[in-house]
Amino acid sequence: MKKQLTHIATLCLAFFLIACGGKQGNVYNVLDYGAKGDGVTDDAKAIQQAIDACTEAGGGQVVFPTGYTFMSGPVELKSNVDYHLEMNSRWLANPDESIYHLSAFRANEGEGMMWIYAQSAKNISITGTGTIDGNGVAFMGKELDDSYELKPVTDFDPRPHVLTLIDVEKLIIKDVTICNGAYWTVHLIGCYDALIDGISLLNNLKIRNGDGIDVDHSRKVRIANCFIESGDDCICLKNRREFEEYGSCEDIVVTNCVMTSRSCAIKIGSENMDKINNVLFDNCIIRDSNRGIGIQNRDEGTVTNVVFSNMLVDSKLFSDVWWGKAEPIYVTSYPRAVGNHKDAGWRFPKGATEGRCGEVSNIWFHNVKCTGENGIFVGGDVPGKVNNIHFDEVDIRLVKRTDYPGGVYDKRPCLGEGFAQDKTYAFYIDTANDIEITDCSVREEGFGRPFGGMLKQINTQNVKVKN
């Protein structure tokens, strides 16, 4: 009798939810709108119909059910919808380059197209334990020893970004696996109140431009409990010129993440035409990365009030295809190089033929343990541009791990010489002011390369070393 009553109560609750919420409580299964889920048929039309129906009904949940692979071309996400990928479901990018026409950077078509995207929306969540797969290798050229060859392009690059979210307020991305990006993977542009929590972001480490999470002109963003592997930067804060109306990038918190990158695991810049301010990175682990933590200011914007604390950073050398020379910490501001890259016209302010770089100041590193093939690099183009940089309990263990030559610091992209050649120092400071190094240590373990010692200073003022 007790089991019968429980069953009756469950049925009553189900009928009540259906009566109050419309179609199964405003749950929209993409199969009901014609999606095949066979991994061969393009399901974009069916997925978009499910999204549109859900939105028109006032919102709800669009479900990608277990056991299916939904291949699709571009799809637009809309407001008030939870996009739920059930366990063992997969949303896969169509490998046909000809169907991608929506630029990820507006009039600048030289840096990829949009696949899954949203514009001027509210209350979007992407949840579940399924997978969003960018099918990255399908858009690459041949595989090389250190990377994939990029297909030749002029001013139009068809490679799809995985998630491009523009002007979204109240955004949640939680628990899903996002993988195999052909270009940037998760790009937040002008977003406000965003949470990315517990995701696995697993890109092919040989794919160039394969950023993990890019926070661009966005505010009130929290990133927590994520595992990220990417050929390019794992987490990057920036202000791209194409979206300048969205203003600064501020109030960003990143915590409890594990990252690996062939470029820079945590990067601020290089594109920064506005202000990056009030940023906290805490309790993170960086493994097997070309560069650990990097502030790479190359435009007129500023970087201020940034804290890095309680971190383990492990860096090693890779080929020059990837920017960085195993610097565990890197704080720089140099004017951007003038080049003939496919999107070079978008790198400088309108009408300008060369750029300038803004101030980097009030940066703190506390309790950071570094292991790798190079030391910390701090540098700017003129005295005072980089100032008030604080290192407290930052320990460096120098260990030889590869056959690549050491004694090199990477300034790219910058005017003039892109590399500085010298011995390896624990701290290499070139044209910077007001630096504090407190309770730090360096240890050399069979390094086998020219080691210069604890500190080298070039054109500095007010560098204080304590204990």
Residue 32 phi/psi, 5-degree rounding, is: -70, -15
In CATH terms, the fold of domain 27-466 is Pectate Lyase C-like (2.160.20)
pLDDT of residue 7: 40
Q: How high is the pLDDT of residue 49?
A: 98
pLDDT tens digits along 258-273: 999 999 999 999 999 9
* 353 band by pLDDT with thresholds 50, 70 and 90: confident
Distance of alpha carbon 37 from alpha carbon 86, whole angstroms: 13
Q: Are the beta carbons of 363 and 306 closer than 8 angstroms?
A: yes
Question: How much is the pTM?
Answer: 0.94
The angle at the Cα of 186, spanning 27 to 137, to the nearest 5 degrees, equals: 100
Please state the rounded mean pLDDT for residues 431-454: 94
57 burial level (CB within 10 Å; 0-12, 13-18, 19+): middle
Q: Report the relative pairing of strands 291-297 and 264-272 from DSSP bridges.
A: parallel
State residue 5 phi and psi, 5-degree precision: -65, -40
Dist. CA 399–CA 314, nearest whole Å: 10
Asked if pLDDT for residue 11 goes beyond 90, the answer is no
Taking CA atoms, 334 is separated from 266, 320, 377, 432, in Å, by 18, 19, 13, 12
The pLDDT, as a whole number, for residue 352 is 87
Residue type, 363: I
Instruction: Identify whether the C-beta of residue 392 lies closer than 8 Å to the C-beta of residue 439.
Output: yes
Q: What is the DSSP letter of 152?
A: P
* Pairing mode of beta strands 108-128, 69-72: unpaired
Q: What distance in Å separates the CA atoms of residue 366 and residue 9, rounded to the nearest whole number?
A: 56
Contacts of 337 (CB under 8 A, 6+ apart): 412, 413, 414, 415, 418
Query: CA–CA separation, 447 vs 401, rounded Å?
Result: 9
Tokens coding 458 = 């070039």
Could you tell me if 416 and 379 are in contact, meaning their C-beta atoms sit under 8 angstroms apart?
A: no
Q: Which residue has the higher pLDDT, 217 or 349?
A: 217
pLDDT reading at 428 higher than 60: yes
Cα 136 to Cα 101: distance, rounded to the nearest angstrom: 17
Residue-wise pLDDT tens digits, 213-238 = 999 999 999 999 999 999 999 999 99
pLDDT classification of 58: cutoffs 50, 70, 90: very high
pLDDT tens-digit map of 176-204: 999 999 999 999 999 999 999 999 999 99
Range 393-422 average pLDDT = 92
Helix (H) or strand (E) holding 51: helix 44-56
Residue among 360, 342, 157 at smallest CA distance from 269: 360
- In the block, tokens 């009408």 appear at 351
pLDDT tens digits, residue range 290-348? Answer: 999 999 999 999 999 999 999 999 999 999 999 999 999 999 999 998 865 655 578 88
Local structure of 414: helix, strand or coil:
coil
| Mean pLDDT computed over 124-132 | 98
E strand residue ranges, 79-234: 81-85, 90-93, 103-105, 108-128, 131-133, 160-174, 177-179, 186-189, 192-197, 200-202, 213-216, 219-224, 227-230
| Residue-range domain boundaries for the chain | 27-466
For the chain, the straight-line distance linking the first and the last C-alpha, in angstroms and rounded, comes to 75
User: How does residue 397 score in pLDDT terms, banded at 50, 70 and 90?
Assistant: very high
19: pLDDT strictly greater than 50: no
